[in-house]
Amino acid sequence: MNRPSLPRRIAVLAAAIAIGAGASALCSCSLVDTKPAMIWTDVPEIAYCAELFNDSQQRFLVEVQWKADLVTAIRQTETPPALAIGHYLKSRDIRGRFLSLNYLFGELAVNPSVFYNELLAFGKVGGRQILLPVSFNLPAIIFPRGTRGIKNDFLLGLDDMAGLSKAFNRTEGAAYVRMGFSPRWDGDFLTLAVDAAGADFREGLPLDWNQQGLRSAVAAIRAWTTSVNGPSSLEDDFQFKYLFTPAYQYVSAGRSLFAYVDSDSFFLIPEEKRRTLDYRWFAHSGSVPISVRIVLAGLLRSGGGRTAAEAFLKWFFTEKSQREILESERRARALESFFGIAGGFSSLRSVDEKVYPLFYPALVGHLPPAAAMSAPPELPSDWPQLKRSVVAPWLTAVTGRPGGSPPGDLGRELAAKIADYIKKSPSP
Contacts of 174 (CB under 8 A, 6+ apart): none
- Is there a contact between 214 and 410 (Cβ–Cβ < 8 Å)? yes
Of the options 3.30.70.1290, 3.30.420.130, 3.20.20.80, 3.40.190.10, the CATH number for the domain spanning 6-136+293-365: 3.40.190.10
Residue 404: the pLDDT is: 66
Q: What kind of fold does domain 138-182+232-289 have according to CATH? A: D-Maltodextrin-Binding Protein; domain 2 (3.40.190)
pTM listed for this prediction: 0.90
Cα angle 46-138-129, degrees, rounded to a multiple of 5: 60
Q: What is the rounded CA–CA span in Å between residue 175 and residue 128?
A: 56
Q: What is the rounded CA–CA span in Å between residue 379 and residue 188?
A: 15
Where exactly are the structural domains of the chain?
Answer: 6-136+293-365, 138-182+232-289, 183-228+382-428
Tell me if 6-136+293-365 shares its fold with 138-182+232-289.
Answer: yes
- Is there a contact between 235 and 184 (Cβ–Cβ < 8 Å)? yes
Using a 10 angstrom Cβ sphere, with 0-12 exposed, 13-18 middle and 19 or more buried, the burial of residue 345 is: buried
Question: pLDDT per position in the chain (428 positions), as tens?
Answer: 445 444 545 555 545 444 444 444 334 344 555 789 999 999 999 998 999 999 999 999 999 999 999 999 999 999 999 999 999 999 998 999 999 999 998 776 888 999 999 999 999 999 999 999 999 999 999 999 999 999 999 999 999 999 999 999 999 998 999 999 999 999 999 999 999 999 999 999 899 999 999 999 999 999 999 999 999 999 999 999 999 999 999 999 999 999 999 999 999 999 899 999 999 999 999 999 999 999 999 999 988 999 999 999 999 999 999 999 999 999 988 888 899 999 999 999 999 999 999 999 999 989 988 999 999 889 999 999 999 999 999 999 999 988 766 667 899 999 999 999 999 886 55
